Structure 1
Amino acid sequence: MAEYAIVDVGGRQYRVAPGDVITVERLDAPVGQELTLDRVLMVRDADRLLVGEPLVAGAKAVARVLEHGRDRKVLVFKYKPKVNYRRRYGHRQPYTRLAIERLEVAG
């Protein structure tokens, strides 16, 4: 059984272990669905360390979708002095929360 792994989800890398809950970019999957994260870059086992080139062959992380949501609002303010130019707008990034159930390594 793998202790932890480094996975690539949505262009970002996360260190995951069974039982972890991570927040990633919004994924198109319904709540409760089981996802297979197969872009595994590294796996730490009890007695070995597997590093992919770039991916570890046969390794995957199985996760369950817990919820979808939108993050806190980030305010963006543009300002140029002496020309009366001011712009303010906000942005809320959508996210998906995943619960890592298990890590699987072939061989």
Structure 2
Amino acid sequence: MSRYAMIDVGGKQLRVEQNGSHDINPPALIRGDTSDSDFDTEVSIHRVLVIRFGSRIEIGRPWLDEATVRGRISRRCFGDKKLIGGVHSERDKDGTKKNSRYRQNQVRLLVDSILSDGKKV
């Protein structure tokens, strides 16, 4: 049977399945300079948009009441390198552009359970 939930986390909508892992932008509670030993934090996400279990589909407006996705934050990871537009160097005599790149800080979310009305789906 096909079971999944659509959640809104970090300004993005993700399709998550039970026992799956996803890279997300870190929630506010774990942002900052925390060491990897502080991880394995349990989180509950209440912004659940859709839950599908077999042929039954529940759609929220905008979110489902009493629906929760529970999981753990396991470790830090980084996204792909992204290009920030051309950056002019102040000391460059030729006026050439330098391309600056960065990696988005992310964390790995391991989904433990999908709950609808307090019952496991």
Question: Shared fold by TM > 0.5?
Answer: yes
From 79, 92, 107, give the equivalent of 2:103. Answer: 92
Pairwise CA distance, 1:71: 2.8
Q: TM-score normalized by structure 2?
A: 0.74
User: Which aligned pairs between 1:21-36 and structure 2 lie closer than 5 A?
Assistant: 21-27=21-27, 28-29=29-30, 30-36=38-44
Q: TM-score normalized by structure 1?
A: 0.83
Question: Structure 1 pair 36/88, CA: closer, same or farther in 2 (3 Å)?
Answer: same
**Where do 5+ consecutive residues of structure 2 fail to align?**
31-37, 88-93
CA contact (8 A) 1:77 1:86 kept: no
Say whether residues 1:59 and 2:50 are aligned partners.
no
Q: Once structures 1 and 2 are overlaid, which stretch shifts more, 65-74 or 13-22?
A: 65-74
**Where do 5+ consecutive residues of structure 1 fail to align?**
none
- Partners of 2:5 and 2:80 lie apart in 1 by 28
Tell me the SS of whatever aligns to 1:53: coil
Tell me the SS of whatever aligns to 2:19: coil
For 1:36, the aligned partner's letter is S
Q: If each structure's helix is expressed as a fraction of its own residues, which one has the higher value? A: 2
**Corresponding residue number in structure 1 for 2:12:** 12
**Runs of at least 4 residues off by over 3 Å:** none
From 54, 57, 65, give the equivalent of 1:49. Answer: 57
Q: Once structures 1 and 2 are overlaid, which stretch shifts more, 52-61 or 25-34?
A: 25-34
**1:34-87: per-residue Cα shift (whole Å, max 9, x none)?**
1001100011123421000110111010011111133343344528xxx83413
- Partners of 2:99 and 2:55 lie apart in 1 by 53
CA contact (8 A) 1:26 1:96 kept: yes
Aligned-pair identity (%): 24
